[in-house]
Structure 1
């Protein structure tokens, strides 16, 4: 086992894609074993390549696998996290956690978007690239290290750092969730870009959030926290879209 791990590290550091593999290592918490799993996870079908056996290689099979694992892990997590809630609540929360807009925003928050290999020009393809990549990464982790490591990645490295469960639970009454719900119904791609600024040398940060809908700026908001800025940006977008924000 030790020899195999050492061989994996030597292979990683001698690879021309060392920067990408070190990014994966920092993200998942271990040195990747079979590097091709991770290469494939970040290859959209529009950038498919052919391997030495003549097989077409992209992330679609890994995305299929990761989607199933993500759904199972989230279902188990919610079942144990909310022991007093009924099936309807659990189903609704699971839907919120795995919807396409949430996965897309996670992909940006985690920095995965920087490494995606894609030549997509179709708007439908573009709207699915990011969430599909995250699911494919989960599939790659499962194949490389097994279910327990994939589960740990989701439960310990994604949910606590990037997802506000309380906000999701209360999401029926907040602007960000209303905007995401609208995007699901209309099949539009919505994401948030949030910056931290220190105006005039202030020690207190100000957050500026911009809503991007299908690669176009649709709203802007500021606040003393990232959450407040995103809520205000979502409210601005909803207002411009003519959707009630009472």
Structure 2
């Protein structure tokens, strides 16, 4: 009876553990396949790709007791993306000046566009972030895409990283000619308006008070000659200022047409 009880207890404990291990292994295999399909590469060090999907809200402790998240890879990927896109635009538009190239690059590396691309790539399923955060309403996906670019660079080097960015991101998700014709850098447009009309333009940006566990948000106010004309919100200071500038340009347009 006692022996039967021990065997029964052992099965009761081991079976759920085996199920958990099986599920973990299956998810690991699916993630590997996702990375391979998304990048077109066979990962060398899969751990670096896993790190690219860990948002700071869900960071974990590594073997060296230090916290791990994707911020360092994001920093690296941001630099790689900017350099690769700059080179592609330089070669694609040989007759355009520096101002055009700079503006077009800023539209491509725009956080909103990167978020959209990451969503279309299916990255949302794999991002590890605090459950209270709705990642579709934050810059988390765009950050993870930059971190993925950084991971490819660390794992495979610059040339492979460049090919990944051009083939799997730019060519698949971005119409360069369309982006080149579209000017959505509202902050730059507002500053240019101020220069044209000889009026000072500045932004007042502050972090919005939020509940614990929610993603930080920012409020920006655009002031002309010291008078606040429009404001906007965003999940980064840059996004908030862009929204504030856009709303201000609308107000200015309404005043000019009335």
For Structure 1 versus Structure 2, the TM-score category normalised by the shorter chain is 0.5 to 0.7
- Alignment partner of 1:112 is 2:123: yes
- The equivalent position to 1:48 in structure 2, one of 31, 35, 59, is 59
Matched residue pairs, number? 181
Larger Rg: 2
- TM-score, L = length of structure 1: 0.64
Partner Cα distance (1:31, 1:63) in 2 = 21
Structure 2 segments unaligned to the other structure (5+ residues) = 1-24, 191-219, 223-231, 236-246
Cross-structure match for 2:150: 139
Aligned Cα RMSD in Å?
Answer: 3.5
Look up the match of 1:152. 163
SS across alignment from 1:17: helix
Offset, 1:121:
4.7
The question of whether the paired residues in 2 share the 8 Å contact of 1:40 and 1:58 is answered with yes
The offset of 1:114, in angstroms, is 1.4
Give the distance between the partners of 1:156 and 1:138, measured in 2 at CA: 13
Cα distance in structure 2, aligned partners of 1:38 and 1:169: 32
The 3 A distance-change label for structure 1 pair 43 and 244 is farther
Instruction: Identify unmatched segments of 5+ residues in structure 1.
Output: 1-13, 190-237
What is the match of residue 199 of structure 2?
A: none
TM-score of the superposition, structure 2-length normalised?
Answer: 0.61
Find out whether 1:84 has 2:95 as its counterpart.
yes
Aligned to 1:162: 173
1:188 aligns with 2:199: no
Q: Following the alignment from structure 1 to structure 2, what is the Cα–Cα distance between the partners of residues 141 and 60?
A: 15
Tell me how far apart the structure 1 counterparts of residues 81 and 131 of structure 2 sit (CA, whole Å). 25
Alpha-carbon distance change, 105 to 83 in structure 1, aligned in 2, over 3 angstroms: same
Distance in 1 separating the partners of 2:170 and 2:145: 13
* Poorly superposed stretches of 4+, deviation over 4 Å: 120-126, 241-245
Separation in structure 2 between the aligned mates of residue 242 and residue 122 of structure 1, nearest angstrom: 33
Quick one: distance in 1 between partners of 2:147 and 2:177?
A: 27
Instruction: Provide the secondary structure at the position in 2 that maps to 1:43.
Output: coil
Quote the Cα distance in structure 2 between the aligned partners of 1:40 and 1:137: 9
Question: Which of residues 39, 47, 69 in structure 1 aligns to 2:80?
Answer: 69
CA-to-aligned-CA distance 1:61-104 (integer Å, 9 cap, x gap): 10011111111111111111100000000000000000110111
2:140 corresponds, among 129, 132, 140, to 129
